[in-house]
Amino acid sequence: MRLLDRYLLRELLVPLGYCLGAFLIFWIAFDLFAELGDLQEHQMRAGDIAWYYAVKAPEFMVVVLPFALLLALLYTLTSHSRHHEITAIRTAGISLWRLALPYFGVGLLASLVLLALNEWFVPDSADLAERIKTARSQKPSAERVGVVRDLGFINERQGHRWIIGSFDERTAEMEHLQVDWLDADGLARCLRAARAIHTNEAWLFFEVQEYQEADGMLVPGLYTNVFSSLRFTETPDEIRSEISISKRLGSRKVRSAELPIAEILDYLRLHPNLQPAEQSWLYTKLHGRVAAPWTCLVVVLIALPFGAASGRRNVFVGVASSIFICFSYYVLLQLGLALGAGGWVPAWFGAWAPNLTFGLAGAWLTARVR
């Protein structure tokens, strides 16, 4: 790494750390004041609240990291420009694009961090935070946390219809279940079991009674204490995605961070014949989840022309610019997601429109910087 790159990185990372810390503290404090009454109602103590917000930190990080990076970049670039450092660097024959290489490296790393947080930490942290929140207020006779009752689950690709009395989302254990399907001859088949667990990539059923169609009626067949079959390829993760997404399809909210890409793909694989409205919502959500992390790279593109323009300017210009850019991006993001979810524009365009608009505008403006 060149000496110049190390200098530019050092000058960026210090304000980035301050901005990220300040944004996190502000976001947590704002959420705490908004939720204080609810937290007290759940009888949470100071230690519980501290642990609750530590668990929710990844969710807050997803929101504040792009804003913190934008503010830090604008502050840093405005400071360099104000002291004529950018002019001196470019006079030495280094282009603005080459100068920005360390910033793109930070943007790429931040994008990968956001992708990892969204896929592997935020969904679990939301469930864990809810359990911490309700731990002290639950009565002994209350419903077990994470157990879904009277679950219906359909695998349209293989023609399997599951009716499950109870499903434990943490252990994937089922109780009082029935699976219906048609065999190769088009005759109805049915399997009923008292309990089932998923082990060694297969379902293991207990106290099993099989039924098969004969003369238009289901008649009992095999009865066994333990039964396992590779026919039922549905996985616990696919059932969890069914539970998670089905609860949200009714409201059709496009702004939520709790659905990983893997869950959406599982649901789409099991339901290839969705209604157009459901397809628009799910594909907009899918593209939105893929597009969201790369906001950090777009931030670098849009910050360059705003921060690197020549002239002596106050560093607070960077703050004002960041507020305007964030507001404009947020409005375009919500508009694109709403249009995509409603089927007014293609799902990919609705989700990627903010990144494409600001990224292309930033690249064009950067090329015009003198």
pLDDT value, residue 312 = 56
pLDDT value, residue 300 = 93
Among 173, 350, 346, 179, residue whose Cα is nearest residue 255: 350
pLDDT digits 0-9 by tens, 143-164: 456 788 999 988 988 899 999 9
Query: Mean pLDDT, to the nearest integer, of 225-246?
Result: 88
Q: Tell me the percentage of the chain whose pLDDT exceeds 90.
A: 40
b/e sequence 83-110, b meaning 16+ C-beta within 10 Å: eebbeebbeeeeebeebbebbeebbeeb
Contact by Cβ (8 Å): 260, 62: no
Greater confidence, 256 or 199? Answer: 199
Contact by Cβ (8 Å): 335, 109: no
Phi-psi region of 173 (alpha: psi -120 to 50; beta: other; left: phi over 0): beta
pLDDT digits 0-9 by tens, 291-329: 999 999 999 998 888 877 665 555 566 567 677 888 888
Is the per-residue pLDDT at 196 higher than 70? yes
Average pLDDT, the chain: 86
Q: Which residues contact 188 (CB under 8 A, 6 or more apart)?
A: 180, 181, 182, 212, 213, 218
Contact by Cβ (8 Å): 308, 96: yes
Among 216, 196, 215, 198, residue whose Cα is nearest residue 206: 196
Q: Which residues pair with 203 in a beta bridge?
A: 198, 229
Please report where in the chains the tokens 């064009």 appear, as a residue: 364
Lowest average pLDDT, out of 43-47, 281-285, 332-336, goes to 43-47
Task: Report the predicted TM-score, pTM, of the whole model to 2 decimal places.
Answer: 0.81
Contact by Cβ (8 Å): 110, 51: no
Query: Mean pLDDT, to the nearest integer, of 183-199?
Result: 91
Q: Given pLDDT bands bounded at 50, 70 and 90, which one contains residue 193?
A: very high
Query: Mean pLDDT, to the nearest integer, of 32-56?
Result: 88
287-to-103, 263, 270 alpha-carbon distances in Å: 25, 13, 19
Question: C-alpha angle with apex 242: 237 to 247, nearest 5 degrees?
Answer: 130
pLDDT digits 0-9 by tens, 5-15: 999 999 999 99
